[in-house]
Amino acid sequence: MNVLITGGAGFIGSHLCERLVAEGHHVICVDNLITGTRVNVSHLQSHGRFQFLEHNISQPLDVEGPLDHILHFASPASPPDYLKYPIQTLKVGSLGTLNALGIAKAKGAKFLLASTSEVYGDPQVHPQPEGYWGHVNPVGPRGVYDEAKRFAEALTMAYHREHGVDTRIVRIFNSYGPRMRLDDGRAIPTFIAQALRGEPLTVYGDGSQTRSFCYIDDLIEGIRRLMDSDLHEPVNLGNPDECAILEIAKRVLTYCKETASRIEFRPLPQDDPKQRQPDVTKAKTLLKWQPAIDLEEGLSKTIAWLSRYAGLSPSRG
């Protein structure tokens, strides 16, 4: 296959590039490097089946030759990133999605949109099934990401219904693993980076808010299965094992035994979801997919990778 991946130098995008190149496919990685980095795909540069294009998909892009799949993963994804780049986030969710869908229509390619659990906002239904419409503050600070993804989903379905584009939508819940930036701002890399540096682990609120963390290898397997499916409606992918943020911080301290870090509590940000847990019944039933890597194994692998990246060597007991 010939595959174009927008946001391909980001955390999830780079793992997709790696997986598809390893399978023998030709991959064009498009990224403007606003939050991604060339380092994430540097090991693929020597492959004849891999091509990197530095480009902002919010601007039109001409691609020569045939394409079989377009995977649209371009967007800031962590709160510090999309709060820093609010207009760019809205543009890539709207104009970027429009441009990527236009390429898919012109090439007759299948299209997969990377959406997010943030379309559910601060949910009033728990766990969150795909049929839940969400509880989102459109004018709050997080709305730039939430509404960009909600619009991207609507645009994707419109291209499917109006133009017959063969589309997929994956709603990604919290994911983690190697290649996350130390300054990513999301809970797991932040806690690990703080522990490696001996800094306080910053927990917002009382830490009782929950998240469900899926290791990157499990997520990539789910996305790969969705690519080969004929499912056009959104599909949740994430780990249904729910865990309080405070418990995550305590586990990181347990694995980083040599750290002098302690937990420090700070005020809860505006519109921060109180709970987040995917209903993955659809993925289990139709994709025959479910997470295989538990939090203990995933955290251990992530700490090992980030400790090498940071040049530190904590004990994990």
Q: Which of 81, 74, 66 is nearest to 29 (CA)?
A: 74
pLDDT for residue 314: 45
Number of domains in the chain: 2
Residues 304, 287: Cα–Cα separation, whole Å:
31
Is there a domain that residue 286 lies in? no
Residue 184 shares a structural domain with residue 130: no
Residue 39 shares a structural domain with residue 90: yes
Rg over CA atoms, the chain? 19
pLDDT for residue 87: 98
The pLDDT of 213-233, averaged and rounded, is 98
Residue 196 shares a structural domain with residue 300: yes
Give the β-pairing of 242-244 and 263-266.
unpaired
More confident residue, 261 or 258: 261
> How many C-beta neighbours within 10 Å does residue 313 have?
11
Residue 21 shares a structural domain with residue 130: yes
Is 255 assigned a catalytic role? no
pLDDT at 317 over 70: no
Is there a domain that residue 101 lies in? yes
pLDDT at 166 over 50: yes
Is there a domain that residue 163 lies in? yes
Residue 193 shares a structural domain with residue 136: no
pLDDT at 288 over 70: yes
pLDDT at 207 over 80: yes
pLDDT for residue 66: 97
Residue 202 shares a structural domain with residue 168: no
Is there a domain that residue 201 lies in? yes
Per-residue CA distances from 239 to 83, 136, 192, 285, 302 (Å):
26, 22, 20, 15, 16
pLDDT for residue 273: 75
Helix (H) or strand (E) holding 11, with range, is: helix 11-22
pLDDT for residue 312: 54
- pLDDT tens digits, residue range 65-100? 999 999 999 999 999 999 999 999 999 999 999 999
Query: Six-digit token pair at 280?
Result: 């993955």
pLDDT at 196 over 60: yes
Is there a domain that residue 281 lies in? no
pLDDT at 259 over 90: no
Is there a domain that residue 122 lies in? yes
Helix spans in 141-244 (H) = 143-163, 187-197, 216-227
Contacts of 123 (CB under 8 A, 6+ apart): 132, 134, 135, 273, 275, 276
Spacing of C-alpha 120 from chain mean position: 15
- Least confident range from 36-45, 154-163, 261-270: namely 261-270
The pLDDT of 220-224, averaged and rounded, is 98
| CATH number of the domain residue 133 falls in | 3.40.50.720
- pLDDT band of residue 59 (cuts 50, 70, 90) is very high
Residue 227 shares a structural domain with residue 86: yes
- pLDDT tens digits, residue range 33-54? 999 999 999 999 999 999 999 9
pLDDT at 310 over 80: no
Is there a domain that residue 305 lies in? yes
- pLDDT band of residue 311 (cuts 50, 70, 90) is low
Contacts of 303 (CB under 8 A, 6+ apart): 192, 252, 255, 256, 314, 316
Residue 220 shares a structural domain with residue 76: yes
- 240 near 282, Cβ under 8 Å? no
The tally of CA atoms less than 13 A away on the side-chain side of residue 83 is 12
Is there a domain that residue 128 lies in? yes
DSSP secondary-structure letter at 135?
B
**What whole-number percentage of the chain has pLDDT above 90?**
84
- pLDDT band of residue 173 (cuts 50, 70, 90) is very high
Contacts of 45 (CB under 8 A, 6+ apart): 52
pLDDT for residue 315: 39
Residue 205 shares a structural domain with residue 120: no
Mean confidence (pLDDT) of the chain: 93
The pLDDT of 196-225, averaged and rounded, is 94
Residue 129 shares a structural domain with residue 82: yes
> How many C-beta neighbours within 10 Å does residue 296 have?
11
Residue 199 shares a structural domain with residue 139: no
- 196 near 227, Cβ under 8 Å? no
- 191 near 201, Cβ under 8 Å? yes
Residue ranges making up the domain that contains 52 = 2-175+214-237
Residue 96 shares a structural domain with residue 233: yes
Query: Six-digit token pair at 1?
Result: 């296959």
Residues 180, 177: Cα–Cα separation, whole Å:
6
From the list 145, 159, 176, 255, the catalytic residue is: 145
| CATH number of the domain residue 198 falls in | 3.90.25.10
Query: Six-digit token pair at 256?
Result: 């980083």
pLDDT at 141 over 50: yes
